[in-house]
Structure 1
Amino acid sequence: MNQIFGYARVSTADQNTDTQIDALQKFGCDRIFQEKISGLSVQRPALDEMLLLLREGDTVIVSRFNRLGRSRDHLISLIGEFSKRGIIFKALDLGIDSSTPSGKLVIGIFAALAEYDREMILEKTRAGQILAKANGKHIGRPNGVNEENLKKVKRALDKGLSISEIVQLTGISISSVKRYRKALI
């Protein structure tokens, strides 16, 4: 038998979920999961428990759309997961119901906007990197040889130490030690 699961969350310990829970109870939820935890927190035990219990045909209801996910992307990801698993999602405050054509449209628009945002960020990042490179700025790890480390490796090699012994002694990575050794030959 399909079940209706409610989810309520507040961000701080001094807030309460009473209003959310009241709305979820009025809607007829079979089971309500609640958390008092920051939206930014990755640890969401009640949400995780609910996700494990959900089966195809079940419904997830939130009284306020923004209570479900940590971020817009997290929300879109969760709603996408619900859709793939055949789970209906409803947000009472916005009237979103993923089982209706209009609800599917709204969710599709949210997903498209999130994808557009990600693409714009990538495009701006790439443009910034190209501009920085054109202005002579180096992006990434510094090029060349760290003279101090080169001297350490040279002294160690002169003493007859192996590469693994040099790595242990100096803390310099094995690839760097090999590169320095090659530069010294």
Structure 2
Amino acid sequence: MSLQRPALDELLGQLREGDTVLVARFFRLSRSRDHVIHLVNSFHQRGIHFKALDLGIDTTTPAGKFMLSIFASLAEYDRESILEKTKAGQQLAAAQGKHIGRPKGLDAESLAKVKKALEKGLSVAETVTLTGISLSSVKRYRKHL
């Protein structure tokens, strides 16, 4: 899971004491309960307020801080539950012999076109132009050959 959030990093760099971070949906602030709690604690230490419009959370009050921790935990539970259900569905499909993921990258017709073009001495770029097959596919077929 990537924690690179350029817009959030830019926001955090611009915040000053007395500012209020206002979000329409609180779970969009962070990807995990621990991170959102860390952010809100950091805001509190820096004298920055946090408000989430969708849940009416206002961390300037003790009740708001309490509600934030409850909703952050619920959001994390929801994300983990979805991941668990997705994994179970994938395992069931695999057990039933269904293909999971991207389709195989080799198409016999395209492979034949690339093979013929390369046998004639055409470059990869010329093969792409001639066949209409993507550059990455032509390179993959060439590697396969």
Please report the TM-score for the alignment, with normalisation by the length of structure 1.
Answer: 0.53
- Partner deviation per Cα, 1:85-113 (whole Å, 9 max, x = no partner): 33223579977431333221111111111
Alpha-carbon spacing, 1:58–1:154, altered in 2? closer, same or farther (3 Å): closer
In structure 2, list runs of 5 or more residues that go unmatched: 1-10, 31-35
Q: Which protein shows a greater Rg?
A: 1
Runs ≥4 in structure 1, deviation > 6 angstroms? 50-53, 91-95
Matches for 1:64-143 after TM superposition, within 5 Å: 68-69=23-24, 71=25, 73-74=27-28, 77=30, 80=36, 81=39, 83-86=41-44, 87-89=48-50, 96-143=57-104
The structure that is strand-richer by fraction is: 1
1:177 corresponds to 2:135: no
In structure 1, list runs of 5 or more residues that go unmatched: 1-49, 62-67
Q: 2: CA distance between counterparts of 1:171 and 1:112?
A: 50
Alpha-carbon spacing, 1:144–1:55, altered in 2? closer, same or farther (3 Å): closer
Cα root mean square deviation, aligned? 3.4
Tell me how far 1:145 sits from its aligned partner. Answer: 2.2
Aligned-pair identity in percent equals 63
The structure that is helix-richer by fraction is: 2
Tell me how far 1:154 sits from its aligned partner. Answer: 1.8
Q: Conserved in 1, the CA contact under 8 Å of 2:43 and 2:50? A: no
Q: Conserved in 1, the CA contact under 8 Å of 2:128 and 2:134? A: yes
User: Counterpart in 2 of 1:9?
Assistant: none
Q: 2: CA distance between counterparts of 1:56 and 1:94?
A: 24
Query: What code does the residue aligned with 2:60 have?
Result: S
Please report the TM-score for the alignment, with normalisation by the length of structure 2.
Answer: 0.65
Q: Conserved in 2, the CA contact under 8 Å of 1:55 and 1:85? A: no
Query: What code does the residue aligned with 1:73 have?
Result: F
